[in-house]
Amino acid sequence: MMTALLAVSADADWLGRLERAAGGAGLEFSRLRDARVLSARAGAAGVVVADSGPEAPRWARAVRRDLPGYVLAFAVAREGLAAGAVSEALARGADGILDKDGSEAVLAARLRELGRRAAAAARERGLTSPDGRVRLQPAGGRVFLRRRGAWKPGPALSVREAGLLRLLLERPGRVFERADLLEALWRGRGGDVNSEALDKQAASLRRKLGPAGRSLRTVRGRGYCWG
């Protein structure tokens, strides 16, 4: 899965340069216009890039509240870099700074570094569902369920159940086609596996997650999604 880059800016020229650099860095670019949509992005690893300006503190608070695992970078014009905007941006909660006037090659390299940091943080933190009820530790395939305000170990998951949950939590709201899930979970042998096997894995996972499993939705004629 590609690491997401969410951009916040009214500067069309900067957004175009940022999108091209994101492609060069292997990041999935999209633009944000409203902080209220952040909660829909929870669960995935990513980078948020926002302009350093009067709205920066508001975006920093929104990111920390709704996307606690994301890396936040503020974009600063070169004159701002010389005027002490770096320390101000860091004080506002940024994890890093991007030079808006730098070359696209340098920008891509910086985004690649931020993307690696985000992916590493996601691996360490695990994946949490947007409603905060399910958490998966991908490395060991262990699932935790939130009950009465505390995280409790959930039932043991099979390798494919854990793989399915990981894919869904990495991109909540996205519909995963059956063929793609079969290829991913059966490691390239999806064409040789009956889709009924996928349905059994999904049904078993849903049962093990209890009430939280209702978020694992079957999309008729297509596949599965979370939320």
In single-letter form, the type of residue at position 115 comes to G
pLDDT tens digits for range 120-136: 877 777 788 888 899 89
Q: How far apart are CA 203 and CA 199, in angstroms?
A: 6
Domain boundary among 89, 104, 125: 125
For 119, counting Cβ atoms within 10 Å of its Cβ (0-12 exposed, 13-18 middle, 19+ buried), the class is: middle
- CATH number for position 63: 3.40.50.2300
Q: How many CB atoms lie within 10 A of CB 99?
A: 16
pLDDT tens digits for range 58-77: 888 887 777 766 888 989 88
Q: How far apart are CA 73 and CA 26, in angstroms?
A: 17
Instruction: Name the one residue in this structure whose structure tokens are 């996307």.
Output: 67
Decide if 118 contacts 103 (C-beta within 8 A).
Answer: no
| pTM > 0.85 | no
pLDDT tens digits for range 75-92: 988 776 555 556 666 666
DSSP string, 110-145: HHHHHHHHHHHHHHHH-EE-TTSSEEEETTTTEEEE
Q: How many CB atoms lie within 10 A of CB 124?
A: 10
Taking alpha carbons only, the member of 122, 124, 141 closest to residue 201 is 141
Domain boundary among 83, 103, 125: 125
Looking at the predicted structure, is the pLDDT value of residue 137 above 80? yes
Range of the domain at 67: 3-125
Same domain for 9 and 89? yes
Q: How far apart are CA 46 and CA 121, in angstroms?
A: 10
Domain boundary among 109, 125, 141: 125
Same domain for 169 and 81? no
pLDDT tens digits for range 156-192: 999 999 999 999 998 899 999 999 999 889 876 645 6
* Strand residues in 21-92 grouped as ranges (E): 27-31, 46-51, 71-76
Instruction: Name the one residue in this structure whose structure tokens are 């800016």.
Output: 9
Decide if 97 contacts 74 (C-beta within 8 A).
Answer: yes
Q: What is the mean pLDDT of the chain?
A: 84
Same domain for 17 and 104? yes
What pLDDT sits at residue 86? 61
pLDDT level of residue 51 (50, 70, 90 thresholds): confident
Looking at the predicted structure, is the pLDDT value of residue 38 above 60? no
Same domain for 190 and 218? yes
Q: How many CB atoms lie within 10 A of CB 25?
A: 22
Sign, CA dihedral 103-77-62-35, equals negative
Query: Helix 104-125 vs helix 12-25: angle between axes, to the nearest 10 degrees?
Result: 60
Same domain for 43 and 96? yes
In single-letter form, the type of residue at position 114 comes to L
What pLDDT sits at residue 160? 93
Decide if 50 contacts 92 (C-beta within 8 A).
Answer: no
